[in-house]
Chain A
Amino acid sequence: MLEINNLHASVVDIENSEILKGINLKVGRGEVHAIMGPNGSGKSTLANVLMGRPDYLVTDGDVTLEGESILELRPDQRAHLGMFLAFQYPAEIPGVRPWQFLKAALDSKAESRGEDKMSVRNFSKLFDEKVEAVGINPNLVKRSLNEGFSGGEKKRNEMLQLEVLQPALAILDETDSGLDVDALRIVAEGVNSMRSPERSFIVVTHYQRLLNYITPDVVHILVKGKIVKTGGPELALEVEKDGYQEYLEAAGANA
């Protein structure tokens, strides 16, 4: 489904700011991949580059979705192809109500695919269902999008959007950080219930505890802009126990 080949990326307008230094990654249809790595290693940058954030410049390599390069596509076009990013730090958007915004998002996706828009009634039903499923206070989503939300509420709101938009490839950037145990379970249940042979996930996390609930097919360790190790679920346990020191030293020696 997703193939990343030798991806290099730096910050637009900043010289010598390369963050991603040759990433290679293949995510098959229906697979769940976990990406772990120390702070500042480039996990969020990778997630954002995949979604087309204009702050980053791809200097080498390619990213394909179902065999087609997506690097020239705008973020909204990538979303229309079924990509979704749950942000580590979701933006606060005053005056924009989640309901209206999500309806607009679904409508534009339908439009781009030449499909019929969902009726307001059906959408409302879906929305209310998902609000309940992710355990957001319904009064909260009547307010401005993320404005004044607590950290955990923002993450639940990302899950709400994920569940409403039902993407083919979901990238979750530390959606588990800052969550209490109940919320963590809600995120895990959300992912597990959406897990299907048709849908793939890239889950960025620092914690093994999320992976107790969501068993990944593959775990990658990202250090200093490179994937230094790939393995099965047991790799996450190892990291939890031993930390990243050995990888950092190896990467440092190579640099």
Chain B
Amino acid sequence: MMLATPPVAVEKFSGAYESLVAGSSDVPEWLKAVRQQGWVTFSELGLPTKRRGNELWKYTNLQPLAAADFAYSIGGSVTVDQIKAAGPWDDVWNTVVVVDGKFSAELSNLHDTAGLDAGSLAEAISTGKGDIESQLASLAGREEYAFTALSTAFIEDGAYLAIADGTELEQPIQVVFVTSSDAESRASYPRLVVDAGANTSIVLIETYLNLSGTAQFAAPVSELFAGDKSTIRHYRVQMENETSFHLSTARVRQMGDTNFISTTFSVGASIARNDVHTLLDAPGASCTLHGLYMTSGSQQQDQEISTTHAKPGCTSNQFYKGILSGKSHAVFSGKVVVMRDAQKSDATQKDLNLLLSRGAEIDAKPSLEIYADDVTAAHGATAGHVDKDTLFYLQSRGVDEEAAKAILVRGFAEEMLNEFEPKALNDFVERITDERIPVLLQQSDTIGTA
């Protein structure tokens, strides 16, 4: 092989990593080892770039991220009112708040709910709660992936949720990861571990907010363990400011007869990449991965969705919708791998896009890798414009063109919005969508092409 290109931007993070190591004599030895492994992996990889010929990053240009500088320090100051104003909130939910990567007891709103242990990841690590030692960075962090490796090198705190066997919770648990409003550009590594025991049923909302107007870099990593026969209704809301970088990873390991249903609402950030992987690791596991992304200006949004059918009789369903305007660029990369043993697997993939401008671009790549022979699979992707016949239909009833377009765009989003069931969450995503549509339409120039 020829000389490899040197890893990109490693030096930007090395100072912070060294001071973290120097300043944490009291963390358990096993965590030190985990961090070190993360750092070694990251320093070999560096930030992914297009020119390193990495297929997974072919469509995402991280140049602006590599060119920026970020300070690292956890736990800035934020008020509850700021969080309530910026994101979804309901007092009856259990809400864990993490500020710049650090758990905040004052801002969190925790009720004494039987069967639920919700709080700080740092505390879970130092007191060795549950299976934290074997779980942390087991699904994400030891693989060859720059952002999970980087996040793993910087594990300090975050949120930890443990749900005791047999616990069924009606009310959602929200985890808010918020970047404080301080002026400087920071790096943060929001980290979440969810240990859902057997026969549990929970609703989990992950919310990413940004109170700052400056560019922030967040590399969130969530690891979810779904015990036998558990049901996790999962939501994810990404609302970073439009100069920020959001490179998230979610890894889910599903045991037998589990049901993981996830819906993502991704509208923020300058560059956002949501990398979700579900591992169907026992018979009868089923996952539904849905999402809605809306992009405008020069935003880049990348949904990397993958599911591995490792055992027989599992079902997966990936379905995303995108609304693109301006000169924005979105990627839907849906992947399903069906292993040799995973007979009677059922997998569907779909990505539907509404392009509102000529400058907007979508790369939709659903793909299937099948090694078993008894499999039902279907996939499809479309990119269309607002239909001129439907537009005329609405106009002929007296609705003016702008309002008619807004109705049609909203109609396109509707089925995804309907999935956000908790009332306060539904109100929130509907409000944000209604606020965004006029912005999208302002940058629109292709209405009426059939």
Contacts and interface: CB of A to CB of B under 8 A. Distances in A.
B392 A54 contact: yes
A233 interface: no
Interface of A: 51-55, 74-76, 78-80, 84-85, 87, 90-96, 100-102, 104-106, 108-109, 112, 144-145, 161, 165
Interface string B376-399: 000000000001111011111111
A75 B390 CA distance: 13
A93 B394 contact: yes
In the complex, which of the residues B389, B397, B399, B412 has the most CB atoms of chain A within 10 Å of its own CB atom?
B397
B400 interface: yes
B408 A96 contact: yes
Given A54-B448, A91-B389, A108-B403, A76 B411 contact: no
Given A95-B415, A104-B403, A75 B408 contact: no
A52 to B, nearest CB: 8
B398 A108 contact: yes
Contacts of A94: 411-412, 414-415
Contacts of B412: 94-95
A90 B393 contact: yes
Contacts of A91: 387, 389-390, 392-393
B246 to A, nearest CB: 27
B407 interface: yes
B398 A165 contact: yes
B390 A76 contact: no
B358 interface: no
Contacts of B390: 91-93
Contacts of B32: none
Given A54-B448, A91-B390, A74 B411 contact: no
A90 B397 CA distance: 12
Contacts of B448: 54
Contacts of B395: 52, 74-76, 79
Contact of A85 (B396, B401, B404, B413): B396
A75 B393 CA distance: 9
A53 B391 CA distance: 10
Contacts of B335: none
B400 A108 contact: yes
Q: How large is the interface on B (under 10, 10 to 19, 20 to 34, 35 or more residues)?
A: 20 to 34
Interface of B: 387-390, 392-401, 403-404, 407-408, 410-415, 448
Cβ-closest 10 pairs across A and B: A95-B411, A95-B414, A79-B398, A96-B411, A75-B395, A91-B393, A105-B397, A91-B390, A105-B398, A109-B398
A102 B407 CA distance: 11
A94 B382 CA distance: 15
In the complex, which of the residues B398, B401, B414 has the most CB atoms of chain A within 10 Å of its own CB atom?
B398
Given A53-B392, A54-B388, A79 B408 contact: no
A38 B414 CA distance: 41
28 contacts: A51-B396, A52-B396, A54-B448, A55-B388, A74-B400, A75-B392, A76-B396, A79-B396, A79-B397, A84-B396, A87-B393, A90-B393, A92-B390, A93-B408, A93-B411, A95-B411, A95-B414, A96-B408, A96-B411, A101-B394, A101-B397, A101-B399, A101-B407, A106-B398, A108-B399, A145-B411, A165-B397, A165-B398
Nearest to A85: B396
A204 B100 CA distance: 67
Contact of B397 (A55, A112, A161): A161
B392 A104 contact: no
A96 B399 CA distance: 13
B264 to A, nearest CB: 18
Contacts of A52: 395-396
A114 to B, nearest CB: 15
A54 B387 CA distance: 13
Given A94-B411, A102-B397, A105-B397, 18 more contacts: A51-B396, A75-B395, A76-B395, A76-B400, A87-B393, A90-B393, A91-B392, A93-B393, A95-B414, A96-B408, A96-B410, A101-B394, A104-B403, A104-B407, A105-B398, A109-B398, A144-B411, A145-B411
Nearest to A92: B390
Contacts of A105: 394, 397-399
Contacts of B411: 93-96, 144-145
A144 B418 CA distance: 12
Contacts of B410: 95-96
Nearest to B397: A105
Contacts of A144: 411, 414
A53 B450 CA distance: 14
B272 to A, nearest CB: 24
B395 to A, nearest CB: 4
B396 to A, nearest CB: 5
B387 A104 contact: no
B415 A76 contact: no
A80 B408 contact: no
Nearest to A109: B398
Contacts of A108: 398-400, 403
Contacts of A112: 398
In the complex, which of the residues A100, A104, A106 has the most CB atoms of chain B within 10 Å of its own CB atom?
A104
B401 A74 contact: yes
A74 B402 CA distance: 12
Contacts of B397: 76, 79, 84, 101-102, 105, 161, 165
Contact of A104 (B388, B399, B401): B399
Contacts of B404: 76
B420 to A, nearest CB: 14
A51 B397 CA distance: 10
Contact of A80 (B389, B393, B394, B398): B398
B165 to A, nearest CB: 40
Contacts of A51: 396
B426 to A, nearest CB: 15
Contacts of B408: 93, 96
